[in-house]
Chain A
Amino acid sequence: MKAINEAAVTFLSRSSNEGFARTTAACFAAQLDPTLDEVNDIKTAVSEAVTNCIVHAYPDTLGRISMKLRLFEDNSLEIVVKDWGVGIADVEQARTPLFTTGSEERSGMGFTIMESFMDTLKVRSVPERGTTVTMRRRISRRLGGRV
């Protein structure tokens, strides 16, 4: 399917960039005239994906995170969050609810939230090379959509 618009940002794995990333995604998604609930779902999923990069991909260092956003003709939004960190040895295990390699500050529910709030979630990872998370969400068409 052909993308009708796209944007990309790259930022450092500082926790202060979690808010920047989800706000950026929400602003871009606004072109599809989403409901408040849809915007909140997108912000939550992006926050989880970016937090995973910050906490797990770069546990002891600062690294780069890229976020690519694409809009499609079927009123869907694709979000690709990529890091070049330590990678995930067992993606299936990482996607299990409550599984975490992080501290008590983590709930192990990040991937579960992403799966719940987006229509599709794909995770590709290579240990020591990095992880790419691709999420898609179709936005309901409403009268007065701007795209």
Chain B
Amino acid sequence: MAVKCTGEDRVLTAQVSGEVDHHGAREIMGELERNIETSLPRVLELDLGGVTFMDSSGIAVLLRAYRRLGALGGEVRVHNVPPQAARVLRAAGLDKLIRF
């Protein structure tokens, strides 16, 4: 599983690992959404420490989670972003929306 979710007190922690490209993003997005809808978190803690590659498919994953948490009145926090993924996220301007 490319994403492992744990949560309590409406804080959902998701550890994402592997390659976040179009091929892998669907599974990650599906698993994240299932967990968000189940736990309706106020905070989503996304740990990207295990990500070995990310392209713009990862941007879509983060934006979708950001929008859903926004609709729930919550927030997304992103941690341990590898340099390659950080470069992709910055190129898309996500550093202006989400702190990482």
B68-91 with Cβ < 8 A to chain A: 83-84, 87-88, 91
Whether B100 sits at the interface, judged by CB under 8 Å, is no
Complex interface bits, A80-122 against B, C-beta within 8 A gives 1, otherwise 0:
0000000000000000010000001111011011001100000
Inter-subunit contact A109/B92 (CB<8 Å):
yes
Q: Which residue of A47, A51, A112 is within 8 Å of B92 (Cβ)? A: A112
Inter-subunit contact A19/B19 (CB<8 Å):
yes
Inter-subunit contact A107/B53 (CB<8 Å):
no
Residues on B with beta carbons closer than 8 Å to the beta carbon of A70: none
Whether B57 sits at the interface, judged by CB under 8 Å, is yes
Residues on A with beta carbons closer than 8 Å to the beta carbon of B88: 44, 113
Inter-subunit contact B91/A107 (CB<8 Å):
no
Q: Which residue of B26, B56, B84 is within 8 Å of A40 (Cβ)? A: B84
Whether B55 sits at the interface, judged by CB under 8 Å, is yes
Inter-subunit contact A107/B84 (CB<8 Å):
no
A111: min CB distance to chain B, Å: 9
Whether B25 sits at the interface, judged by CB under 8 Å, is yes
Whether A48 sits at the interface, judged by CB under 8 Å, is yes
Whether B95 sits at the interface, judged by CB under 8 Å, is no
CA distance A54 to B26 in the complex (A): 14
Residues on A with beta carbons closer than 8 Å to the beta carbon of B10: none
B33: min CB distance to chain A, Å: 10
Inter-subunit contact A16/B64 (CB<8 Å):
no
Inter-subunit contact B21/A51 (CB<8 Å):
yes
CA distance A19 to B22 in the complex (A): 10
Inter-subunit contact A113/B23 (CB<8 Å):
no
Inter-subunit contact A18/B26 (CB<8 Å):
no
A-to-B contact residues, CB < 8 Å = 15-16, 18-19, 22, 37, 40-41, 43-44, 47-48, 51, 54-55, 97, 104-107, 109-110, 112-113, 116-117
Q: A22-B53, A48-B55 are in contact. List 19 more A-B contacts (CB 8 A).
A: A15-B23, A19-B21, A37-B87, A41-B87, A44-B55, A44-B88, A47-B22, A47-B55, A48-B56, A51-B21, A51-B56, A54-B22, A105-B57, A106-B57, A107-B63, A109-B59, A112-B56, A112-B92, A116-B91
B-to-A contact residues, CB < 8 Å = 19, 21-23, 25-26, 29, 53-57, 59-60, 63-64, 83-84, 87-88, 91-92
